[in-house]
Chains A and B, each alone.
Chain A
Amino acid sequence: MGGLMYKDFVAIKGKRICIILLSAIALLCILRVIFPGSMAERLDFIVKNDAGTEINMLDIMFVTAYICIVVIMVCFVDVWCARLSEADASCVRIKNYISSLPVSANSYVASKYVFITIATYVLISLLSITGIVLAAFTEPGQGLDLIRMCEVLVLPVTSLLILVASLELPLYILLGREKGNLVKVAIVLLLVFVLIGFMLFADVSWLSEKETFLVRFINWYMKYQTEITLASYLSPVADQLIFYLSYRITVFFKARQEA
């Protein structure tokens, strides 16, 4: 299985991605060390908003870059799920390709899932390290609050990555890249139609009283803030279960395809 995973690493151009990603993160961290939040006043990077609160734009710049990295990493996993089967599909059909391998179809499927798990772990670790370095050189205020929020979001982001992989891997492994993409687009369209249908026909009177609804929601959130945050920490557990179920389903259908 190690060989299969190395093949996948080559297929997603892993070495090049690693170098680019690590260089970008290292550059961001070095720049943050050179330009800490305390330097903003000297560089004239402090602005005041309408309420008269001072905003450190230097910190905000780095936080924005950090949020961009978070988004890019989520996209990476999405792209990789497709790339993993793309390389195999180039061998005419995945079925023919698997039958030529000295491993079982189960191991083939498992290698994809393990690869995505490792990739997610590495991405999340890099994200956390970047967050730690940026936070250490950010002045207390809006910037630091945003970074702290991002750090809290690391676990839900992990869940999202696992969830994306749980849904996409079966599609790409069982159907190949082209059909997988088609099904993915169809699912997204279906969701959009459901949303439009809901907006058209369901009772959305609460939207007209959105301010009252928002205030009620914020009050509810503030009351149960700790519980909600902690419950979000448990989301990776639920997602691991979904990930495992997705693996078992893929193995089941792969075995039927093989037969």
Chain B
Amino acid sequence: MNITKKRLLIYLGLSFGMAWLIFFIFIFTGHTWTGSTPEMLSLVSLGMLTPAIAHVITRKITNEGFRLTGEKSMMLGIDLKGKKWIFFLLAMLLPVVYSTLGDGVIWLFCPEAFGEAEVSSFVVIIYPLISVVNGVVLSFAAFGEEFGWRGYMMPKLIELMGMPKAIIIGGIIWGLWHAPLTCVGHNFGMDYPGFPYVGIILMCIMCTALGTVLTYVTIKTNSIWPAAFMHAVNNSMPSVLLLFMKQDVGIPLWIHALSYIPLILIVVLCLFLMLKKKNPAPEHTH
């Protein structure tokens, strides 16, 4: 077996093993995502650190070393030169844009889900900024995932099967990693047709889409930090329209799916830019 494939399998085994152990303990102690206390949900969210732990253990087992920067490194460096700072800034702001636009789509198709905001206009104005600050400062959990997925898995997958396939397979793996939690209502709840299979499929699609953008910023900056910040801001629900959303109105799953259109547009752009760079146009020779 190819050495890269072997290393990847060790990493995936460790990452899935540790995370699923936490998730299954959560499930078999009778908890669900919708019926648990915020404290218990935060505890389960620490499972996000397992890809990082798996990354470190795999490097130790396979003697790959712990280089911080450069080729085949852990991509922990931060280099802002050559306009790379733009990608850091974009990574922090893009989730605000696509989340708000996504919720705008929900508003368009399901206006009854929105009402008056229960907070003051001051809160409405500063809410996106708070989400960004909160996300970046407390990005350790997102860092845990990105250090594993973008810092170890994606470079190995790209080496094995090339860019487009790696993004799709990587997204599916990432989506399946969440499967136990999707089965107890994470992200989509438990009340939708085709539960939980449709939810798992949607999660894989969502992870593939988000993973494309995250891989793009990682490749452009050769650092996992913008991806970690983007993931963290994405998880801190930065859409200001959420403040106007009613809690008791069930939004159909298909409308939820449509809310990913803005993200998918960004994904298409990132994919185009990545593939364009990989396949440069042939030069004219005389």
Q: CB within 8 Å of B: which residues of A?
A: 2, 121, 124-125, 128-129, 132-133, 135-136, 138, 144, 154-155, 158, 226-227, 230-231, 233-234, 236-237
Contacts and interface: CB of A to CB of B under 8 A. Distances in A.
A115 to B, nearest CB: 13
B46 A132 contact: yes
Nearest to A134: B39
B46 A236 contact: no
Given A128-B138, A129-B46, A230-B122, 5 more contacts: A124-B137, A155-B137, A158-B137, A234-B130, A236-B133
B138 A132 contact: no
Contacts of B137: 121, 124, 154-155, 158, 236
Contact of B133 (A132, A144, A237): A237
Contacts of A234: 126, 129-130, 133
Interface residues of B, number: 24
Contacts of A138: 39
A230 B143 CA distance: 24
A136 B140 contact: no
Contact of B39 (A2, A124, A135, A227): A135
A229 B186 CA distance: 28
A214 to B, nearest CB: 25
Contacts of A128: 138, 140
Given A129-B46, A155-B137, A233-B134, A2 B68 contact: yes
**Binding site secondary structure of chain A:** helix
Shortest 5 CB-CB contacts between residues of A and residues of B:
A125-B140, A136-B43, A135-B39, A132-B42, A136-B39
Nearest to A151: B42
B249 interface: no
A2 B120 contact: no
Contacts of B123: 226-227, 230
Nearest to A114: B78
A86 to B, nearest CB: 25
B69 interface: yes
Contact of A133 (B46, B77, B122): B46
A144 B42 CA distance: 14
A227 B133 contact: no
Contacts of A121: 137, 140
Interface string B136-151: 0110100100000000
Contacts of B133: 155, 233-234, 236-237
B129 A136 contact: no
B39 A226 contact: no
B21 interface: no
B42 A136 contact: yes
A7 to B, nearest CB: 15
B134 A155 contact: yes
A234 B137 CA distance: 11
Contacts of A129: 46, 49, 140
Nearest to A133: B43
A230 B126 contact: yes
A21 B209 CA distance: 39
Contacts of B40: 136
A163 to B, nearest CB: 14
B119 interface: yes
Contacts of A236: 133, 137
27 contacts: A124-B137, A124-B140, A125-B138, A128-B140, A129-B46, A132-B39, A132-B42, A132-B46, A133-B43, A133-B46, A135-B42, A135-B43, A136-B39, A154-B137, A154-B138, A158-B137, A226-B123, A227-B120, A227-B122, A227-B123, A230-B123, A233-B134, A234-B126, A234-B130, A236-B133, A236-B137, A237-B133
B69 A2 contact: yes
A154 B39 CA distance: 16
B39 A144 contact: yes
A233 B136 CA distance: 12
A39 B240 CA distance: 41
B78 to A, nearest CB: 8
A129 B137 CA distance: 13
Nearest to A144: B39
Interface string B105-146: 000000000000001101100110110011001101001000
